[in-house]
Chain A
Amino acid sequence: MSNETISLDQLTGWLTRFHDLVTEQVSYLTELDSAIGDADHGSNMTRGMGAVVEKIQASPAGAIDELFKGAGMTLVTSVGGASGPLYGTFFLRIGATAGPVGTLDAPGLASALRAGLDGVVARGKAEAGDKTMFDVLAPALEAFDAALVDSLDIPSAACAAYSAAQTGRDATEALLARKGRASYLGERSIGHIDPGAASTSLLFQALAETLGQE
């Protein structure tokens, strides 16, 4: 299989792997959220992605738009909190941009992910440095796009994105939260990694690992 395209199966694998990772890291995400939020991010993400995977297994999607629209609606209707609408909107926009296809080429995947990011911004109104999932999503997609300039190899771009995601995640520790519940803490939000940033980093870890296995 060409490294310059990504298939419906691989994208399904990405979502499944993301579910595995949030399940493995549920205590870590809950711990981060206990420090600056309300201690529910781990259980919310596990419940939401669990519902997504259940749905995929019960009725596998026939096209990429169907996969992501289904995942997005499932998250929006099963998670609650802020992570449901934000991750839900991310996947819904990816689906709408990808369209009813079975594979995406590298630029197609990049623009679908970019549309997902735009959706998150429209819903959450977060900006760079607000200490949110945006601080992982934006640099990860920048790294993804930059890697594609050199080569259209999607797995390499996914690795670059994951690396930028980890850097972005760790950088949220020093930031003062300006959005979400953590913002109520003011200065006291400094010194803690943002839980949404941490789960978004897992999203890119899942993509890199899924493509690495191929």
Chain B
Amino acid sequence: MKVNQEVSEMKKLINSAETVLADSLAGVAAAHPDLHVDHVNRIIFRATPKAAGKVALLSGGGTGHEPLHGGFVGEGMLDAACAGAIFTSPTPDQMLEATKVADRGAGVLHIVKNYTGDVMNFEIGAELAAEETGITVAVVVVNDDVAVEDSSFTAGRRGVGTTVLLEKIAGAAAEEGRDLAAVAAVAQKVNESGRSMGVALTSCTVPSAGKPTFDLPEDEMEIGVGIHGEPGRRRVPLAGAAEVARQLVEPILADLDFTGAPTIVMLNGLGGTPLIELYVMYAEVRKILDAAGITVARSLVGNYITALDMAGCSVTILKADDDLLHLWDAPVNTAGLRWGI
């Protein structure tokens, strides 16, 4: 049987490749009574909307990056998250519906990771919202991946780790009652001040493909990998944690001057690496930052923006200021991030 063969080849805890998204949304709904899941439109909302007059935050993207984005819906972060198929952008009708439901009369900020599909689908969604409703939509496109050479001749830098920090910080700004322009400005500032770089030790396996997206020999790693199993820019011999940390942090520091300001540092797992290794990596990252004279004010270590079962990690550094730190520290109550409550 073809189906059985596919299941045995990829060894995943699923019922079938076709039902992974619907089945996982059923789990989200069952586990989190403070979330409302629209199973038809594949949107995760807060069960209790925020107060009228506050700006709403909408994000979304292909699934397979959990807890991003659905795990960040809740008080202090997002109001709604549209779920696409695995590694595939959601569609404009989802963005339209989510925008209509999430709006509390103060406008909606769309947080979009910079991928060709996501940008086009959110663009059509915003066009539909403008045509069909009077809701004001602001857009921030996250593009923080230093692995991609920024050039007018490419699709530009990808949106990766900074997205997590941005959803937290802009979410706090909205919760405080700042208006749409101010929330969008905070989001834009986070995007401009955050940089990320990732490494993969293995590929990931998309259920519908049934086999690893790329082959990576046992003794090699992929530097600059994206969060969809798209290969990075360099394949190099596997090295110790200290050397891997150096290869991740150096390009980030070369891209932006992080001295003279407090920073927020995220050491993020890509889904298939145990937390103990992430802490080993974080220790090495801190040594490099300390030596470079960079002040780390806040840290986050864990799996926050993943690539299914990929082994590896990413480093995100955000150059903050008093306002961004204040917003970072504000209470948050979501499935994926929770503090100060």
Asked if A pairs with B, the answer is yes
Given contacts A34-B214, A40-B88, A179-B116, contact A80 B121 (CB under 8 A): yes
Q: Are B92 and A77 in contact (CB under 8 A)?
A: yes
Q: Are A39 and B206 in contact (CB under 8 A)?
A: yes
Chain B residue at smallest Cβ distance from A86 = B120
Contact residues on B (Cβ < 8 Å of other chain), bracket? 35 or more
Query: What residues of A have a CB within 8 angstroms of the CB of B213 in the complex?
Result: 34, 38-39
Bound complex: CA of A66 vs CA of B231, how far in Å? 41
B229 proximal to A (CB < 8 A):
yes
Binds B, one of A106-114, A180-188, A204-212: A180-188
Q: Are A185 and B230 in contact (CB under 8 A)?
A: yes
Q: Are A80 and B88 in contact (CB under 8 A)?
A: yes
Q: Are B155 and A80 in contact (CB under 8 A)?
A: no
Query: What residues of A have a CB within 8 angstroms of the CB of B117 in the complex?
Result: 80-85
Q: Are A39 and B209 in contact (CB under 8 A)?
A: yes
Given contacts A38-B87, A39-B209, A44-B88, contact A184 B120 (CB under 8 A): no
Distance in angstroms from B126 CB to nearest chain A CB is 12
Distance in angstroms from B247 CB to nearest chain A CB is 17
Q: Are A84 and B91 in contact (CB under 8 A)?
A: yes
Bound complex: CA of A119 vs CA of B84, how far in Å? 24
Distance in angstroms from B276 CB to nearest chain A CB is 29
5 contacts between A and B (CB under 8 A): A40-B88, A177-B154, A184-B155, A184-B230, A186-B149
8 Å CB interface, A27-64 against B: 30, 34, 36-40, 43-44, 47
Bound complex: CA of A188 vs CA of B208, how far in Å? 25
8 Å CB interface, A69-110 against B: 76-86
Chain A binding surface, main DSSP class: helix
Could you mark each residue 121-140 of chain B with 1 if its beta carbon is under 8 Å from any beta carbon of chain A, else 0?
10110000000000000000
8 Å CB interface, B173-215 against A: 206, 208-209, 213-214
Chain A residue at smallest Cβ distance from B122 = A85
Task: List the 3 shortest-distance A-B pairs measured between CB atoms, nearest first.
Answer: A82-B117, A85-B120, A183-B154
B162 proximal to A (CB < 8 A):
no
Query: What residues of A have a CB within 8 angstroms of the CB of B76 in the complex?
Result: none
8 Å CB interface, A145-159 against B: none
8 Å CB interface, B69-93 against A: 84-93
B228 proximal to A (CB < 8 A):
yes
Chain A residue at smallest Cβ distance from B120 = A85
Query: What residues of A have a CB within 8 angstroms of the CB of B90 in the complex?
Result: 80
B107 proximal to A (CB < 8 A):
no
Distance in angstroms from B306 CB to nearest chain A CB is 14
Distance in angstroms from B140 CB to nearest chain A CB is 20
Query: What residues of A have a CB within 8 angstroms of the CB of B32 in the complex?
Result: none
Most chain B CB within a 10 A radius of its CB, from A80, A124, A178, A183:
A80
Chain B residue at smallest Cβ distance from A132 = B116
Bound complex: CA of A156 vs CA of B147, how far in Å? 47
Bound complex: CA of A43 vs CA of B21, how far in Å? 15
Q: Are B148 and A84 in contact (CB under 8 A)?
A: no
Bound complex: CA of A30 vs CA of B206, how far in Å? 11
Bound complex: CA of A159 vs CA of B335, how far in Å? 55
Query: What residues of A have a CB within 8 angstroms of the CB of B92 in the complex?
Result: 76-77, 85
B168 proximal to A (CB < 8 A):
no
Q: Are A82 and B158 in contact (CB under 8 A)?
A: no
Query: What residues of A have a CB within 8 angstroms of the CB of B233 in the complex?
Result: 184-186, 188
Could you mark each residue 208-226 of chain B with 1 if its beta carbon is under 8 Å from any beta carbon of chain A, else 0?
1100011000000000001
Bound complex: CA of A27 vs CA of B231, how far in Å? 20
Q: Are A78 and B91 in contact (CB under 8 A)?
A: yes
Q: Are A77 and B116 in contact (CB under 8 A)?
A: no
Query: What residues of B have a CB within 8 angstroms of the CB of A84 in the complex?
Result: 89, 91, 117, 121
Residue among B124, B147, B149, B208 making CB contact with A40, cutoff 8 Å: B208
Bound complex: CA of A38 vs CA of B232, how far in Å? 12
Bound complex: CA of A40 vs CA of B158, how far in Å? 18
